[in-house]
Structure 1
Amino acid sequence: MNKSSKLFGVGLAMLGAVSLCGISGAAVAGSITEPGELAGLALATPLPEGLYFVDTFSYGNFRGLAYNSSAAINVPVIAWSTPWTFLGGHIYAYAAVPSVMIDANNYSAPATVGGGNVSLNALYNPAAIIGEAWDFGNGFSAGVGVGGYAPVNNILNQNFFTFNVRPSLAWSGDGWSLTANTVFGVTGNNNGGNGNLYGKTSPNYFNYDLGAIKTIDKWSLGVVGFGSLDVSGVTSPYPLYPSYSRQSQFAAGLFAAYNFGPLTVQGYVTRDVFSNNYVNFYGDKVYATTAWLRVVAALWNPPPPAPLVAKY
């Protein structure tokens, strides 16, 4: 795989915002890592040594707030593909500080029964990940990252640590790239937060982001899909929100990208095709539609070694 195609597949945008437990009235669950953020990325493919910038922006109606709401999430990432290897794998590391903007009209119910309009923006939990990627040949690769999110005392009540493990698989050949990125997150107890919530206010979760993409010249077209599962209950929201139930969803959509050389621009649009326990105040099931824009650029790569010149 050449450098341009590896840059296209760089899988380093890692953070999101879906657990808005401070303002959701119908349910209080969701992954701290945004489902779908890694769709179409070849996380398992080792990158050339260097520094990379990846920015992923998403906008759409927001299933986590469950009623007439929208969210804009921006995730800037700085990634370092190191010169080192361990046990045959290439070592990488990255960090990000994402942000989220929420606009919810009558987010949980009419004003007469406690609803209202909510507009907010906040920095999201910063994160750091370190991992390895292995190239097994014949187009197959695998990787795993370990790290997590730090607490942030924001309006979203996310003042807790979240531990992450991120296994990934990829295959490429004949212009095709097939990718599967997973995230298992273990959340800690809320340390107070804006609303003085204590206990486990956000669930453990499992996300899976998938992609099947064909590259022809500088264009890449394909399909993506992603899902999320609440894999553990929470403690504090049960007395606060007796209707809380474990949530899950799956979405699919179309993907397109263009390689400009110094940077690659990717976009995709997704729609939930399965939604479980994402409901509004009236019990109506909520399906999210989201537009995604991603920019990938190499900031620095070491110069190639000087050619050897024989002297006689």
Structure 2
Amino acid sequence: MCKKERKPIGPRQKKRLLEKNAYVCCVCKSKGIGLNFHHLDEDPSNNSDDNIAVLCVKEHDNHHRPNAYSNVKHLDLSTEEIRKKKESWESFVNEAKKDNPTVLAVVTAYGTVDNILGTKLVFQWVNGKIEFERVYQLLDAPMDVWADKIIEEIIWVGKNIKLVLINEPVPIEYCDNCNGGALSRILDENMAIKETAVDWDKESLCTIYINPKQSSLAYTIFYKNDVIYQANIHKCGDELHFIDDKRDIRCSLLTYKVRTQVVKFLKDRLKEWDIKSAIIGTGNPDDPDIINNLTLPSVWENWSKKNKKRIEY
């Protein structure tokens, strides 16, 4: 087979490709390491942007010589895999540079409030796909340095990226399918839509349906007429039972002012969504009566037989 002649890549194209990739490898996103311009089709004369992937010298070598190093396993770094990573990373960088990007930076602390073991910064798409992540540990730097590094990373990728903090430390969990790798926390798609929507206050709406005959209610959150979240709350014995597509929460009901407790629980859930507008209905679920107040029927105060009496306000 005739070997094709290599055509040099001009300085303007190199600069353009590096900017598209934020000056890092599209595979590992490592900083401070030399970069190569890899021809995906192995044709050095085809210098179209779509055919050139920015790879660090390590990943470039791993692709061409996957069995050269006993301590490195990159047998899966095929041409197709590089192409996917190139397209995804360049799309992410492009989105991150926009004024209102639909990508997120999520920070999770691991350990306990009294003993933080490490922090993970995850850059994700709205649909939950992780583009890349960074891990900060006490062995690497003091805890007060982590915040500076996280801010530096966000500004590097895109200064307008929304930063979301998981509100409490979580224990370290591991994935058996990833050789013991620690699991990454991401924001669910429905909440990610809320966090990246610049018109959330105007375009979001919550509808609440209160069952007049049973101790149950349901609510739905809309964004631009699309349903993005649904949940229901009901009394199960002497417990308050909350269910959505991710959570199943039970808590003991108080023996007084049950309706006050339920309303507070619901308002706390809606506060998570920063809801400014709600429509409340009751009666016929197919054609509910609209009411002005979040008032629950007295059926919520009916206790099971093992309770001595029914408690009212």
In the superposition, the TM-score normalised over structure 1's length comes to 0.21
Structure index of larger Rg: 2
**Higher relative strand content:** 1
Whose relative contact order is higher, 1 or 2, with alpha carbons under 8 Å and at least 6 apart? Answer: 1
**Higher relative helix content:** 2
